[in-house]
Each structure stands twice: as structure tokens, then as C-alpha cells.
Amino acid sequence: MIVVHHLEDSRSQRVLWLLEELGIAYEVKRYNRDPVTSLAPPELYAVHPLGKSPVISDGDITVAETGAIFEYLLDTYDKDGRLKPARGSQAGRDYTYWLHYAEGSAMTNLLLKLVFSRLPERAPMLMRPIVRRVSASAEDSFIDPRVAEHANWWNTALERSGYFAGDDLTAADIMMSFPLEAAATRADLSVLPNIPAFLKRIHARPAYQTALEKGGPYAYA
């Protein structure tokens, strides 16, 4: 049976959702973050040398990195190609783009925003006013405009069908869920109506709800 090494409040929630959509039996091995550093616990190093999540074990096969896990699960278990459009089609090209974009271009600026927003609280007390000004300047002048630029691109991409690749849900939509959920917790996206509509649509899916129940509390950001 597949074992998902699942870190709380993390991107590994998408792996649970994908498995639910595929209808594959799996076991969740849950790990809690360090309450001070928010980092993964050392037990994950016994699973993979980098000690990160998500990681899955499928018999004697171990796969890390969300995109690689998705490709492995789809190649191995999605025999009818329900969550992966045909190669060579426009939907197939869109699928490949969004599948890789989610952990590449999309997450870069969101991670920068997360890091800079937390810098003041982790700085020495006397340095916090200075660090707060520097962080705010970096967010206002560089990070927030980039996040807005990408959010506009998501809204445009969703305009045609409400999904990122083709006319129905694909694994690319599951991959893109985390960047959109993370952005929605840190910015007002109501002026980009296709994004909240997409989030409402995916959150209502039975497979998403079941994955949420099995994965536990999920703070998105």
C-alpha cells in the first residue's frame, strides 16, 4: 500500500487529494512541524535524505517532490488518463505547463512573501523596527507586484473553462490549488473572480473533502 509521509499544513495535502481522485488506497503517516521553527521533524530524514515532505513510499519505491510524485502516481495508476489530457493536444500542452509552473514560477514569489512577512517577528527585539521597514519595502516594491502579476495570469487562464487545462479537472488543477490557496490567504482576490470561483469549486469536491479529513487541519499558507 502507498504510504504518504504527510507534514501538517503543507503541500503534501495535494498528494492526498490526487490519491482520492484516483480512488487508490493509501495510508497517511502524519508528521507535526516544530512549534518554534515550523520546520519538518527529524523523523522525515529516515524517509528521504532531505527530510522534507511530501514523500511517498510504494513498496520499495520512494518518491519525493510533489511534481515527481504526481507523475509517478499518474503514470502508474491513472490508466484511463482521466486526470491527464492527451499529449499533443492544446489541453495536454497547457497541462504540462501548469503542472510545472505551480512549483516553479508560482511558488517563488509566494515563498518570498512568506519569508519577508515573518522576518520581523524572528529578528532581535531591538532590530525589529528596522527589519519591519526593510521587509515592508521589499514586499511593497517587488514581491507584491509580482504576486499580483501572477494572480492576474491565473484569473485570465481560468476564464475559458474554469480549469487550467481543458474543460474538466486535471492533475494540473490539483497542483495549482496550493499556490491559489496560499495567495488567497494573503491578498484580496475578490477583484479576480475566477480565482475564488475555482477555489470554491475544488473545495466542494468529495475527493478534496475526504483528503482534508484524512490529512487533518490545513491552514493553506
In this structure, is residue 14 part of a structural domain? yes
Examine residue 102 and state whether it is found in any structural domain, yes or no: yes
If asked whether residues 97 and 140 sit together in one domain, one would say yes
Work out how many domains the chain is built from and give that number.
2
CATH number at 160 reads 1.20.1050.10
Q: Find the mean pLDDT for residues 151-179.
A: 97
Asked, for residue 221, whether it belongs to a domain, the answer is: no
- Tell me: pLDDT of 187 over 90: no
Distance CA(145)–CA(157), nearest Å, equals 19
Amino acid identity of residue 85, one-letter, is P
List residues bridging with 4 in a β-sheet. 28, 56
The pLDDT tens digits for 54-108 are: 999 999 999 999 999 999 999 999 988 899 999 999 999 999 999 999 999 999 8
Residue of 20, 80, 16, 67 lying closest to 172 (CA atoms) = 67
CA-to-CA separations, 34 to 7, 113, 116, 211, in angstroms, rounded: 11, 21, 20, 23
Separation CA 48–CA 61 (nearest Å): 11
| Residue 167 placed within a domain | yes
Tell me: the pLDDT tens digits for 113-123? Answer: 777 777 677 76
Does residue 220 sit within a domain?
no
pLDDT (0 to 100) of residue 131: 63
Give the tens place of pLDDT for each residue, 31-53.
888 777 777 788 888 888 888 88
Asked if residue 139 belongs to a domain, the reply is yes
179 lies in the same domain as 142: yes
Residue 20 within any structural domain of the chain: yes
- What pLDDT, on the 0 to 100 scale, is given for residue 220? 55
CA distance 107 to 179: 6
Cis link prior to 145 (omega < 30° from 0)? no
The residue to which cell 493553506 is assigned: 220
| pLDDT at residue 221, rounded to an integer | 43
Same domain, 135 and 78: no
Judge if 80 and 123 occupy the same domain.
Answer: no
User: What's the one-letter identity of residue 86?
Assistant: A
ω before 54 within 30° of 0 (cis)? yes
**What 8-state DSSP symbol labels residue 11?**
T
pLDDT at 32: 83
CATH classification of the domain holding 49: 3.40.30.10
Same domain, 100 and 70: no
Shortest CA distance to 56 belongs to which of 17, 5, 101? 5
Give yes or no: residues 127 and 112 share one domain: yes
Residues 164 and 118 in one domain: yes
pTM recorded for the entire structure: 0.89
19 and 121 assigned to the same domain = no
44 three-state secondary structure: helix
Q: In which band, very low, low, confident or very high, does the pLDDT at 142 lie, cut at 50, 70 and 90?
A: confident
Domain that holds residue 57: 2-84+210-215
